[in-house]
């Protein structure tokens, strides 16, 4: 049995978890800063770092207590090294190094995006080759995994990440932060009233969302010039349908070409209720590939997912030194130049 203490602080959640053998959550403590950042309409990096400093010790103590273990029982300390906000990451990195040094435990640096993918390990045993659609506030990637702990990006966004587009469109529609869940909710009352341009990319598996975001902004301005007010639910509906239809089509095309045993969704946008239905409908037509969708609690940022990926990294012999620092632009293993 291997027990991992995992620490995550890449953006605006301060989190710590204890995970057994990469698949069983003994505790998963997340202290969210959303209430504070909502006041500013988005994450303020300096504020995020300061709140991480205030909360990190508490979430670690709480994670150990809830799991009913002490540091003596822990085999390794895994932490998010990147990608993310440098000041935020720094707090988790320092906490992980301090606790590993004090209790003489190995340190395992983890890429946050691999964490999102391995969150699916709490739902099912992963089957390879596997395709992951990684969709968050900072990333939109199709990742091909021939085997466990092998990552090849076959598509990415040339501009905005999908979560970023949700957040920006929500802001111009006056829905507030974070925009993803707000658009998800209000779009349920919307109708296909407006037409928006389908994103175009040179590589069929790449994504683009900034043109669509600009089109929503121009649509609002056009209505205002006519002296009319935009229907927010209809605009949210049309933005969401256009963004998701394009993303789902690309993903399904990649599944047809690569023929993975499993397609997994990963990252905050995987919480989207419309996307989950669209994916289930499309994947029901493809018998050879199973679809795994993570539960809502492990779509958005948490430390249990870092424990799941950290376990696999630990088993693959990955270790970090006490001289390691945060890596805000960190690439996935195997992607390093």
Q: Between 289 and 300, whose beta carbon lies closer to ligand KG4?
A: 300
Site for Zn ion in 179-218 (CB under 5 A): none
Q: Which tokens in the block code for residue 111?
A: 């890429």
Taking CB under 6 A as the rule, does residue 160 contact ligand KG4?
Answer: no
Is 166 one of the binding residues for ligand KG4 (CB under 6 A)?
yes
Would you say 206 or 301 has its CB closer to Zn ion?
A: 301
State yes or no: residue 33 binds Zn ion (CB under 5 A). Answer: no
Site for Zn ion in 297-316 (CB under 5 A): 301
Q: Whole-angstrom Cα distance, residue 18 to residue 30? A: 12
* Chosen residue from 9, 136, 246, 251 binding Zn ion by CB under 5 A: 136
Q: How far is the CB of 335 from ligand KG4 (least distance, A)?
A: 17
Q: Is 164 in the site for Zn ion (CB under 5 A)?
A: no
Least distance (Å) from ligand KG4 to the CB of residue 207?
14
Q: Does 9 bind Zn ion (CB under 5 A)?
A: no
Whether 201 and 156 have beta carbons less than 8 Å apart is answered as: no
Closest CA to 312 of 110, 28, 100: 110
- Rounded to the nearest 10 degrees, how much is the dihedral formed by the CA atoms of 306, 119, 156, 259? 140
Choosing from 92, 115, 155, 163, the residue that interacts with ligand KG4 (CB under 6 A) is 163
Tell me which residue has tokens 């699916």.
Answer: 120
Least distance to Zn ion from the beta carbon of 159, Å?
Answer: 19
Least separation, in Å, of the C-beta of 12 and ligand KG4? 8
> Which residues have a Cβ under 8 Å from the Cβ of 115 and sit 6 or more positions away?
8, 80, 305, 306, 308, 309, 310
What b/e readout covers 138-163, taking b as 16+ CB neighbours within 10 angstroms?
Answer: bbbbbbbbeeebebebbbbbebbbbb
Calculate the alpha carbon distances from 87 to 12, 15, 50, 77, 163 in Å.
11, 15, 9, 20, 21
User: Which residues are near Zn ion by CB under 5 A?
Assistant: 136, 301
Binding site for ligand KG4 (CB under 6 A): 11, 136-138, 163, 166-167, 178-181, 184, 267-269, 271-272, 300-301
């Amino acid at each position: 049995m291997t027990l991992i203490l995992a620490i995550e602080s890449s953006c605006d959640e301060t989190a710590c978890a204890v995970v057994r053998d990469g698949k069983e959550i003994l505790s998963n403590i997340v202290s969210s800063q959303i209430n504070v950042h909502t006041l500013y309409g988005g994450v303020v990096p300096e504020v995020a770092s300061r709140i991480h400093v205030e909360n990190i010790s508490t979430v670690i103590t709480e994670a150990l207590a809830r799991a009913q273990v002490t540091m003596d029982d822990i085999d390794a300390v895994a932490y998010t090294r990147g990608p993310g906000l440098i000041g935020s990451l720094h707090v988790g990195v320092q906490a992980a190094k301090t606790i590993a040094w004090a209790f003489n435990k190995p340190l395992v640096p983890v890429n946050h995006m691999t964490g999102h993918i391995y969150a699916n390990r709490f739902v099912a045993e992963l089957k390879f080759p596997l395709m992951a659609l990684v969709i968050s506030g900072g990333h939109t990637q199709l990742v091909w995994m021939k085997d466990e702990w092998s990552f090849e990006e076959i598509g990415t966004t040339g501009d905005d990440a999908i979560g970023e587009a949700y957040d920006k469109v929500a802001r111009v529609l006056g829905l507030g932060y974070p925009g993803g869940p707000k658009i998800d909710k209000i779009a349920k009352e919307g109708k296909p009233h407006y037409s928006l341009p389908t994103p175009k990319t040179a590589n069929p598996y790449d994504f683009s969302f900034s043109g669509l975001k600009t089109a929503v902004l121009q649509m609002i301005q056009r209505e205002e010039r006519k002296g009319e007010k935009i229907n927010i639910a209809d605009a949210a509906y049309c933005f969401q349908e256009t963004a998701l239809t394009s993303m789902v089509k690309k993903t399904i095309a990649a599944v047809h070409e690569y023929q993975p045993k499993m397609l997994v969704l990963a990252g905050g946008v995987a919480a989207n209720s419309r996307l989950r239905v669209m994916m289930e409908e499309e994947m029901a037509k493809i018998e050879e590939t199973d679809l795994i969708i993570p539960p809502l609690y492990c779509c958005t940022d948490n430390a249990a997912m870092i424990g799941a990926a950290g376990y696999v990294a630990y088993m693959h012999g990955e270790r970090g030194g006490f001289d390691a620092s945060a890596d805000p632009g960190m690439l996935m293993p195997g992607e390093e130049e």
